Amino acid sequence: MMSNKIPLSLKDILKKIPKFSTELGLNLNDSKDRFKWFLASMLFAKRISVNIAKKTFKRFIDEGLIDVDTILKAGWNRLVEVLDSGGYVRYDFSTATNILENCKKLNDEYNGDLEVLHDKALDSKDLEAKLMKLKGFGPIAINIFLRELRGIWSKANPKPSKMALEVAKCLGLSKEEIK
């Protein structure tokens, strides 16, 4: 008996792998969830386990620290408490400082809105440059943040990470196929 199933391509299989934002219950088509993803990206970018980053992100959600205003009102001591309660103790002080400074910068320069930051960017390179000016938001955090916003933000088009390129090479994919 012949099967009518069409074999999936490798690209189709890769598309089925859940994104971190999806695992966290975020819908990146919603601008409120894009800020939450921004926060999560900062947590995932440090040299800390994925499970601790996820647990800590969920603590932020549980505590209602989900936007610029609530984070600024909470203050540094409260952020350190939340980071510690999620197990994010190795980088608690610096991460609390970075989160607060980034929220202040978003408030001062972009009306507290990541969408304004995106809109003010001239192109994908300028978007990355604007994000690079944020405290503790380097190339790894930018790649984590923007790769899941491809197709949502018109200017979100980071280069594939070195690890993605290595995996693609092992799978026999070209650079064009992993974009």
Helix runs in the chain, H state only: 10-15, 20-23, 31-44, 50-62, 68-85, 92-110, 114-120, 124-132, 139-147, 162-171
pTM: 0.86
**Cα 125 from chain centre:** 17
pLDDT band, very low/low/confident/very high, at 19 (cuts 50, 70, 90): confident
**161, pLDDT greater than 60:** yes
pLDDT band, very low/low/confident/very high, at 166 (cuts 50, 70, 90): confident
List all residues 6 or more positions away from 61 whose beta carbon is below 8 Å from its beta carbon: 36
Residue among 114, 173, 177 nearest 149 (CA)? 114
Predicted pLDDT of residue 128 = 97
- CATH code for the structural domain at 28-178: 1.10.340.30
Condensed to tens digits (0 to 9), the pLDDT of residues 70-83 reads: 999 999 999 999 99
Amino acid residing at 89: V
Domain chopping of the chain, boundaries: 28-178
Tallying the residues shown for the chain, one arrives at: 179
What average pLDDT does the structure give for the chain?
A: 89
Predicted pLDDT of residue 5 = 58
Condensed to tens digits (0 to 9), the pLDDT of residues 48-57 reads: 999 999 999 9
pLDDT band, very low/low/confident/very high, at 109 (cuts 50, 70, 90): very high
**25, pLDDT greater than 70:** yes
Predicted pLDDT of residue 18 = 74
pLDDT band, very low/low/confident/very high, at 59 (cuts 50, 70, 90): very high
